[in-house]
Structure 1
Amino acid sequence: MVLRNWQLAITNRKCFMYKYLFGPVSSRRLGISLGVDLVPPKTCSMDCVYCEAGRTTCLTLERREYYPTNEIIGELGNFLSGGPELDYITFSGAGEPTLHSGIGRIAEFIKGKYPDYKICLITNGTLLGDAKLAKELAAVDLVIPSLDAADEATFRKINRPGPLLSCSTLINSLASFRKTCKTSLWLEIFVVAGLNDSPESIEAIRKAVVRIKPDKVQLNSLDRPGAEKWVGKASEKELLPFVKALEPHVKVEIIGKPSVPEQEGKSKTISASDVERGILDLVRRRPCTLAEISSALALGKGRILPVIDAMAGAGRIKVEKMDRGLFYKLI
């Protein structure tokens, strides 16, 4: 049984809403994952066109304590003391987690007190060349950085970094981190049709991958609404040239649709206002389907749908149709 944060709250007879934790959610690549927010929404070093969290509002390279480290550790201790079944604890959220200067302390707390849990860092990779940060990440089991382009022009079109970042710097950082880190490294490539799928772009990415030497490459494409409406989902035909170019050098996989377990409507003691808070807590980070909300809150769809409909009718959230169904997101 997967024990979720809402179920812990019910057991304690209080609706304890975590400020920095979200989920657990069913991830397309990590299984059941507890998310940890380390920076405010959209605090990031880039402004990627496909980002499911929306446009970056604070474009920065400054590392500092954006949220109190001790408070994050306190929430993790409260949640993990219940012994939930998790595949990963994931530093991700709606911004760039390596910007938080306390990430090392948080990872060390998890490994020191709850060593059986695996930690994953999902990052754009822009800060991995920092030797101090690399040491801080020693307790992390898996790092998944991104490399969506290996030439400057395409990099700026897709990732829209600040003026101090360059494509060559990013590639150098990833290669340096790979040499010094003992953690597993999966490299994500987000395919944006018409931008990074030309033969020239793919060849540049191939050369960078050979240099970085990741354990695995994961090809990703739009699965839920992104920052820019013109970004679409890449077809299998558009992904295959990447597979053909990279497979001689590294294991390649295409990220698929997540398996979202159905939930029974058991928790009738939760009020509609608390369900609404839970929904907002999820969709403020990224757009979600009804099934994903149901799974994350451990509530049946029938318990959630009337609340969602009321929120949409009141203009608090909006609905966007994608290939995978209807997604609910903040206005």
Structure 2
Amino acid sequence: MSTVIYPSPIFGPVHSRRLGVSLGINLLPADGKFCTFDCIYCECGYNKDHRPKQKLPTREEVREALEHRLIDMQANGPVPDVLTFAGNGEPTAHPHFPEIIDDTLALRDKYFPHAKVSVLSNSTFIHKEKVFNALNKIDNNILKLDTVDAEYIQRVDRPSGAYDVNKIVETMKAFKGKLIIQTMFMKGKTDEGKDVDNTSDRFVLPWIEIVKQIAPRQVMIYTIDRETPDQSLQKATHEELDRIVELLKKAGLNATASY
């Protein structure tokens, strides 16, 4: 099985299906994965197979590495569309995440003021005041909500601690629209034979009702793009994703699909 473990603290730029030319900021160690989810579809593999031995990059190391790379991009290209916090796990788990966001915004304004700052988060720390406030400062606050079905979350996203989807939803509402919901749709079964198809109305319709209450400025749906640690998963089809986008639009939501 092929997995993707990203360099730290800076990687890319890469071409993102959803965001364009993206310079990656990885606040996790470069030798493994550190995440509060253990998703069966994660391109970085299972947590148990990639436990890091290195320490988290410090705030200073992130700032220095980012500035060095932005100076190089200013001189040699390419021009980034976005600076994206992603990588080997959950970026908001870094103890200095709020301060690093402030540094990144300052450097963005200095070198590429038209670039957006994005965070890809699984939402598990959005209840923390400092994380919540930091996410309110950025351009693209992209929060995961794969479903509102608690059993499905345990089967597929596999949170490492207590996870209450209702509390997550309530905090999402508190952003007052300043967020993007990101949802993975897929089919097939787990390696243990459990069904993971969340493209049917059983999962889609209750999820849309909750997303309407959250009222995000955009909904990004997508499907599997790389090899997954669980080998029996399947991509959702173009037709299935298009159907979900149409349902979202009928509900008054701005929605896009990445195939």
Superposed pair shares fold, TM > 0.5? yes
Q: Detail structure 1 runs of 4+ shifted over 4 Å in the superposition.
A: none
Are 2:46 and 1:48 aligned? no
Secondary structure at the counterpart of residue 66 of structure 2:
helix
> Equivalents in 2 of 1:114, 1:151: separation in Å?
38
Q: 1:102 aligns with which of 96, 103, 106?
A: 96
1:242, distance to aligned residue in structure 2 (A): 1.7
Which deviations, in whole Å up to 9, do the C-alpha atoms of 1:121-167 show, x marking residues without a partner?
Answer: 01111211222211223432111111111111111112111241122
Q: 1:123 aligns with which of 112, 121, 124?
A: 121
Q: 2:169 aligns with which of 162, 171, 175?
A: 171
- The letter of the residue matching 1:89 is L
Aligned length: 230
Instruction: Say whether the 8 Å CA contact 2:98–2:130 is kept in structure 1.
Output: no
Which deviations, in whole Å up to 9, do the C-alpha atoms of 1:4-30 show, x marking residues without a partner?
Answer: xxxxxxxxxxxxxx7411111111111
> Equivalents in 1 of 2:49, 2:101: separation in Å?
25
Alignment correspondent of 1:36: 25
Are 2:228 and 1:226 aligned? yes
Are 2:27 and 1:24 aligned? no
% identity of equivalent residues: 27
> Equivalents in 1 of 2:99, 2:71: separation in Å?
18
Which deviations, in whole Å up to 9, do the C-alpha atoms of 1:80-104 show, x marking residues without a partner?
Answer: 1231411011100011001012122
1:188, distance to aligned residue in structure 2 (A): 1.1
- The letter of the residue matching 1:77 is E
Instruction: Say whether the 8 Å CA contact 2:33–2:89 is kept in structure 1.
Output: yes
Q: 2:60 aligns with which of 54, 60, 70?
A: 70
1:174-323 matches, cutoff 5 A: 174-176=172-174, 178-179=175-176, 184-193=178-187, 194-248=196-250, 249-256=252-259
> Equivalents in 2 of 1:56, 1:98: separation in Å?
17
1:137-148 matches, cutoff 5 A: 137-148=135-146
Which deviations, in whole Å up to 9, do the C-alpha atoms of 1:68-91 show, x marking residues without a partner?
Answer: 111111101111123141101110
> Equivalents in 1 of 2:103, 2:224: separation in Å?
34
Q: CA RMSD in A?
A: 2.1
> Equivalents in 2 of 1:217, 1:30: separation in Å?
13
Instruction: Say whether the 8 Å CA contact 1:150–1:204 is kept in structure 2.
Output: yes
Secondary structure at the counterpart of residue 187 of structure 1:
strand
> Equivalents in 2 of 1:157, 1:204: separation in Å?
18
- The letter of the residue matching 2:168 is L
> Equivalents in 1 of 2:179, 2:81: separation in Å?
17
Secondary structure at the counterpart of residue 133 of structure 2:
helix
**77-86 or 42-51: which moved more?**
77-86
Task: Give TM-score scaled by structure 1 length.
Answer: 0.65
> Equivalents in 2 of 1:54, 1:135: separation in Å?
30
- The letter of the residue matching 2:226 is R
1:244, distance to aligned residue in structure 2 (A): 3.3
Unpaired runs of 5+ residues, structure 2, are: 1-6, 188-195
- The letter of the residue matching 2:18 is R
> Equivalents in 2 of 1:163, 1:81: separation in Å?
40
> Equivalents in 2 of 1:69, 1:197: separation in Å?
40
Unpaired runs of 5+ residues, structure 1, are: 1-17, 60-64, 257-331
Secondary structure at the counterpart of residue 227 of structure 1:
coil
Alignment correspondent of 1:86: 80
Distance 1:240 1:111, change over 3 A: closer
Alignment correspondent of 2:155: 157
Secondary structure at the counterpart of residue 47 of structure 2:
coil
> Equivalents in 2 of 1:210, 1:143: separation in Å?
17
1:197, distance to aligned residue in structure 2 (A): 2.0
> Equivalents in 1 of 2:11, 2:228: separation in Å?
20
1:58, distance to aligned residue in structure 2 (A): 9.4
Task: Give TM-score scaled by structure 2 length.
Answer: 0.82
